[in-house]
Amino acid sequence: MKVIGLIPARYQSSRFPGKPLVKLLAKPMIIWVAQLTTEALGKDNVFVATDSREIKKVVEDFGYRTLMTSQSALTGTDRLWEAAQQVKADIYVNVQGDEPLLNPVDIVKVVEVKKRHENEVINAMCQMLESEDPGNVNIPKVVFTEEKRMVYMSRLAVPGAKSPEKAPKKYWKQVCIYAFNYNELKAFGSFGRKSSLEGFEDIEILRFLEIGIPVRMIETSGDSYAVDVPEDVVIVEKILKKKLENG
């Protein structure tokens, strides 16, 4: 099966303009992500999908491939639908451009699960750290069945509890690795707008639920920390430096 890794990267992030090009230990963040995706899928199978000529130039100067997409794409997954129409594959893997700490092994794991569940979107998750606040709206929390089917995802602390003693002992957060087939991406992109729940939460994976496509969650290593706001840069740089020192 042909597997393509797509990294959506837009320049005008509302919370952090120019985020894909922010330097982490002197190297653009989008390049860190391209490198780890290459480790998992091979360089010829990795593309950065962007609406920015500046991002395109930087990525190609480092020897990676790009696909130009429109500035009107509603979400990263809509951008991937535009990219998928330019390069055909059996499986498309979305690796978020602001996740430079992802483990390449987890990308491979998502692909393998997708091969076994061809008619389900696959999304990664991990347990939240004790140091992380479930009330942090920058961290999407996941509710799923015992069979690992996603029920809902929210920026609130879910699942809720009627009384403190019944509160969850652990929360699960989304890890931004997804796998789709062409028809799933087509259904998502052809919807033409954000769905109701997606609009409330600003979590695009919810659109799949609302258009009737099941989402299967899989546990990954938890080796992740997204760069959502400028303050995250210092944190991620410290972790990257420690990883490099440890080989």
User: For residue 97, is it left (φ>0), alpha (ψ between -120 and 50) or beta?
Assistant: alpha
Q: What is the pLDDT of residue 247?
A: 72
Summarised one tens digit per residue, pLDDT across range 12-56 is 776 678 899 999 999 999 999 999 999 999 999 999 999 999 999
Listed residue (165, 169, 144) closest to 154, CA to CA: 144
pLDDT of residue 110: 98
Asked which of 77-86, 113-122, 137-146, 230-239 is least confident by mean pLDDT, the reply is 230-239
Residue 194 in this model has a pLDDT that exceeds 80: yes
CB 220 within 8 A of CB 125: yes
Distance CA 84, CA 67 (A): 9
Q: What is the pLDDT of residue 228?
A: 78
Using a pLDDT cut of 90, give the percent of the chain over it: 84
pLDDT > 70: what percent of the chain? 99
CA distance linking residue 205 with residue 119, whole number of Å: 15
Residue 169 buriedness (CB in 10 A; 0-12 / 13-18 / 19+): exposed
Per-residue model confidence (pLDDT) at position 231: 87
In this predicted structure, which of 34-38, 168-172, 223-227, 237-241 has the lowest mean pLDDT? 223-227
Tell me the per-residue pLDDT of 71-82, one tens digit each, with 9 for 90 and over: 999 999 999 999
CA dihedral 237, 243, 246, 247 (to 10 degrees): -120
- pLDDT above 80: residue 222: no
| pLDDT band with cut points at 50, 70 and 90 for residue 163 | very high
Burial class of residue 38, CB neighbours in 10 A (0-12, 13-18, 19+): middle
What class does CATH assign to 3-228? alpha beta
- Over residues 128-160, the pLDDT tens digits come to 988 889 999 989 999 999 999 999 999 999 999
Give the model's pLDDT for residue 158: 96
Q: What are the residue boundaries of the structural domains of the chain, listed by start?
A: 3-228
**Model confidence band, residue 115 (pLDDT cutoffs 50, 70, 90):** very high
pLDDT at residue 14, as a whole number: 65
